[in-house]
Amino acid sequence: MKVLKFGGTSVGDPNRIKKLYEIISSQSAGRKMIVLSAVSGTTNSLISIAESFKNEEKEEAIRQINSLHQFYNAFIEQLFTAQNLKQSAQEVVKKHFDLLKGFANDLFTSAEEKVILAQGELISTFLFQLYLQEIGVKSVLLSAFDFMRINEDGEPEYDYIKTNLNTLLNAHAEEVLFITQGYICRNAFGQEDNLRRGGSDYSASLIGAAVNADEIQIWTDIDGLHNNDPRFVNETKPIRFLSFNQAAELAYFGAKILHPQSIYPAQKNNIPVRLLNTLNPGANGTLITNSEIPEKVIVAVAAKDGITAIRIKSSRMLMTYGFLRKIFEVFERYKTPIDMITTSEVAVSLTIDNNNNLDEITKELSHYGDISINVNQTIVCVVGDFRSDTHGHVCIVLDALKHLPIRMISYGGSNYNISLLIPDNQKVEALRALHNRLF
């Protein structure tokens, strides 16, 4: 089986939805699982609707719901030719929007918010299956709520997913084409939940692992991972091959095409991941495998914004043990991951990308030393093959950025990246300087 995930831009308008089957049918014979995101822009609209309900701006929420409903009615008019299918689509979609309007009469909590955010994927998968019906293609729509589940810590329950998904597939043993939703799931309490933003990639990888897929394909609107951010740097190029380790670094440190968590299930099960472009299906894209790619020592640059740097300076660190454990326990209590860390004999500098509990964290850390905070920082990550038998690459990177202020450097924690912390307003200059020097 192949797993094909199509992102929001790939289903962004009726014409693109009509072209999906051309891509699907061009694949080699065998079973296929199609994982769809919400139509482009829908999730942002749903987030805005949820925010309006949360702020008790019910009239504004209803206005936004009606506007989005009108968008989908126009979408349906363009997608379908048969009048009976147009009517069926409008009736089902109306039920989704009536559900949204019903939240104006209820107490609004995070549980209701997650129900709202699920509607985009439920609508896109329904419309796609109905379109396949119109063109005479048989398919089975599987609800992600019937097999995709996370535990109390928000982590996927792999055994549950594998058992329940394969049970559903075995119940349709003669069928070859399946459709399901990305992003959405149930939580440990059976409530509707999600895998967070970008989670459709994660859904595809989890599904691929559960069915031991031959390949996972992530279809977006760009020809694979590029060696720099094409939004800021001219003449970037797609990377033909990547190892999972390199792709994981790029995804975590800012490459927007791939969700950071989507790498692990595929890597663990040795399933190739191919990144492809729905707007240019003939492009090679990027193939990610467990093989180490010797093609180039330095393969790409990425950047992660919204970083906060925290420095804890204390003479009590000198010649003592247990100090770092106490520091890490503070972040653990507030469930705040650390991105980078550097240490000296009397100071620790580290970075986080979630400031929700920054005041509380700072207060607790102040018991251990003097604290300084720098917000509005960016991590620039240079990804490649930096094993101990290679040399000279750090010098090249630092030489490219010698005219810019560097707050922290992390090297050696991984064989695959050099990370540097700079002010946000220097990001574009850093990306361009590195591109000119490295590529």
> Who contacts 223 (Cβ-Cβ below 8 Å, separation ≥6)?
238, 276, 277, 280, 283, 284, 285
Q: Is 43 annotated as a binding residue?
A: yes
Q: What is the pLDDT of residues 144-202, one digit of tens each?
A: 999 999 999 889 999 999 999 999 999 999 999 999 999 999 999 999 999 976 689 99
**Rounded Cα gap, residues 324 and 357, in angstroms:** 19
Contacts 24+ apart (CB under 8 A), 60-68: 61/103, 61/104, 62/101, 62/104, 65/97, 65/100, 65/101, 66/97, 68/42, 68/97
What 3-state DSSP class applies to 193?
strand
What are residue 170's phi and psi, to 5 degrees? Answer: -65, -25
Q: Which CATH superfamily is domain 299-438 in?
A: VC0802-like (3.30.2130.10)
Q: Is 386 marked as a binding-site residue?
A: no
Contacts of 122 (CB under 8 A, 6+ apart): 96, 181, 184
171: number of Cβ within 10 Å:
10
Is 392 labelled as part of a ligand binding site? Answer: no
Return the CATH class of domain 2-221. Answer: alpha beta
Residue length of the chain: 439
121 annotated ligand-binding residue: yes
- Could you tell me if 9 and 29 are in contact, meaning their C-beta atoms sit under 8 angstroms apart? no
Q: Residue 219 has what pLDDT? A: 95
pLDDT of residue 252: 78
231 assigned to a ligand binding site: yes
| Annotated binding-site residue? 5 | yes
Tokens, residue 221: 């609107």
- Any known ligand binding at 8? yes
Weakly modelled stretches of the chain, pLDDT under 50 = none
280 within 8 A of 224, measured Cβ to Cβ: no
Interior angle at CA 372, CA 369 and CA 378, nearest 5: 135
390 is known to lie in a ligand binding site: no
Residue 221 in marked binding region: yes
CA torsion, points 196, 198, 199, 201, in degrees to nearest 10? -170
Q: How far apart are CA 309 and CA 376, in angstroms?
A: 9
Ranges of each domain in the chain: 2-221, 299-438
